Chain A
């Protein structure tokens, strides 16, 4: 156990403390009337401490310890309003899905430890970095040279370990918990389920990167290819799901899943800096978007709070009923720009940034990842890269769908919301606008302009790359201008389409719902993952566990307990007759026992 600070940790420390600070300030406004105000702050503190502990961990075991603490805090915070049935179900769902991932993570860690056990030899085990070379890189080289670790077994270890990040960062197929985690208070959605905890999976892959490389330390490994494909498929799938959702927080949640997919893909295709750079940028604009959604919900809350029947029903429904609270339903919004100009402005900046609009932070990091995907030499790299490009278009579409439905057009609710005033809830939003625009310029390729305007390509390491890179030298981050143009065109196309569908009212929305009914349902039902898991649980998992319970618990354990009680009762019944209260009898027993012991000693005495 210890503390390690390097360039990667320094960046994560800034991300976690900045977002946590702003979210805690925002919480003061958002949770002011809540009876659990102080409890909420205690959970926030415990979460922040756990997350910071994870960031500065020196080895995999320490990471695992804080990893679990972070998971527990997430469970507490998702179920903060435990009296709501949906919140109770959501925190349980998050807990169970994360346990599945963490089991895989632990298996991977233990397997890696057993394969490299002889290497550590008195040094702290599973260290991420060590000046004397007793770290992951040294262990892999040692194990590969003495044959205890082959390329195939390292890939298998990396896949087991990947289950942890997949669950924590909500990657397919362990992604199902994140959207439902939106049942927690909105500051939690911003802090944990947008910017910090979900990024822990990406961080862990970056931190233990040698495990995903080949034993020789190159990036053309099967482990990284799997990371890239998981990321790409998740990015695309989550983007298609976000297209049809009407709960403002869930739209943002699915966009988080999608953007985490980009980060996975970035790390998978070898764009180590690109993946972390997107994590860095995404943390700021996504936290801002979530806080904006919280401001909208807070602003609309009074419009629906008088409906007590609905409130009661919302407390009793199940997650699978998919009942959207009216103050979170995009169909009840519209025209809120007039009432909430500050929130509207911040949300627009967030949308532009996540859509990769030129000049915004998402533009630089996303194009970096897509360019790296095109340069990637792994299997099916073109499909991977085009998948990301198409996802960029989808992202722009669903984000601006949310923006237009919320802030533009006419207000569709009955009771008008209050006018927004500058409050403690707006200050964090305005503070987050700055990094949502400016942080991207840390990753701007200094040779970009000469590349675009016909000069010779002069790729140079940018500020972010110079600060953080894998290996001894900075990567030459050169986002391909052609790729930048293509992905920007897709992004702008998505924005234009959203404008035509939701503001110009050309009837495209109705046409899509009617003509593409199957696809629409597939998206609305989230690719039927929940239904498939419930079916699988009821048909296979639960019967299997019931059989195991019958066999192990009911037959073996219960019978062993029954046997021990039978022995106790039987021996008691027999011995009770020896207790008759007669002194002669006791003297006889003592005499007989001593005689028996003497005889035993005589028979067993050593001869000679």
Chain B
């Protein structure tokens, strides 16, 4: 699969979701999904599976586009 620099940047731009997905899954399980074992498992596994696929795409994108060194987004709440 060919991933251009633009595509890779777009994939990385969505990387906060990798972190957010398990938190959302965990919160949903605590809030109510715990009453169903299968739903708890599916939410948790689904969130991490999404993270796995997204991480693979990031890795492949960075491998194909070594010029993309570091990409970061800052929400500057705390500054000196």
Interface residues of A (CB under 8 A from B): 1-7, 10-11, 13-14, 16-18, 20-21, 24-25, 27-28, 37-39, 41-46, 48-49, 52-53, 56, 58, 61, 117, 120-125, 129-131, 466-467
Interface residues of B (CB under 8 A from A): 12, 15-16, 18-23, 25-26, 29-30, 33-37, 40-41, 43-45, 47-49, 51-52, 55-56, 58-59, 62-63, 66, 69-80
B59 touches which one: A13, A42, A43 (CB < 8 A)?
A13
Most chain B beta-carbon contacts within 10 A, residue among A24, A42, A121: A42
Q: In the assembled complex, how far is the CB of residue A111 from the closest CB belonging to chain B, in whole angstroms?
A: 15
CA distance A56 to B37 in the complex (A): 31
CA distance A332 to B60 in the complex (A): 46
Instruction: Name the residue of chain A whose CB is nearest to the CB of B63.
Output: A467
Q: Contact at A122–B80, with CB atoms within 8 Å?
A: yes
B residues in contact with A52, CB < 8 Å = 18-19, 22, 51
CA distance A11 to B70 in the complex (A): 13
CA distance A125 to B43 in the complex (A): 36
Q: Contact at B78–A124, with CB atoms within 8 Å?
A: yes
- Going nearest first, the 9 A-B pairs with the smallest beta carbon separation are A45-B26, A49-B22, A2-B74, A38-B34, A4-B72, A13-B55, A42-B29, A17-B52, A120-B80
Could you name 5 residue pairs across A and B whose Cβ atoms are closer than 8 Å?
Answer: A3-B73, A4-B71, A37-B40, A48-B22, A56-B15
CA distance A161 to B77 in the complex (A): 24
Q: In the assembled complex, how far is the CB of residue A293 from the closest CB belonging to chain B, in whole angstroms?
A: 22
Q: Contact at A21–B73, with CB atoms within 8 Å?
A: no
A residues in contact with B48, CB < 8 Å = 17, 20-21, 24, 45, 48
- Main SS of the interface on chain B? helix
Q: Contact at B79–A42, with CB atoms within 8 Å?
A: no
CA distance A11 to B58 in the complex (A): 9
- Main SS of the interface on chain A? helix
Q: Contact at A3–B72, with CB atoms within 8 Å?
A: yes
CA distance A5 to B63 in the complex (A): 13
B residues in contact with A56, CB < 8 Å = 15-16, 18-19
A residues in contact with B40, CB < 8 Å = 37-38, 41-42
Q: In the assembled complex, how far is the CB of residue B2 from the closest CB belonging to chain A, in whole angstroms?
A: 18
A residues in contact with B33, CB < 8 Å = 38
Q: Contact at B29–A14, with CB atoms within 8 Å?
A: no
CA distance A39 to B26 in the complex (A): 9
B55 touches which one: A6, A7, A14, A27 (CB < 8 A)?
A14
Q: Contact at B43–A10, with CB atoms within 8 Å?
A: no
Contacts A21-B52, A38-B34, A42-B40 given; indicate if A5 touches B47 (C-beta within 8 A). no
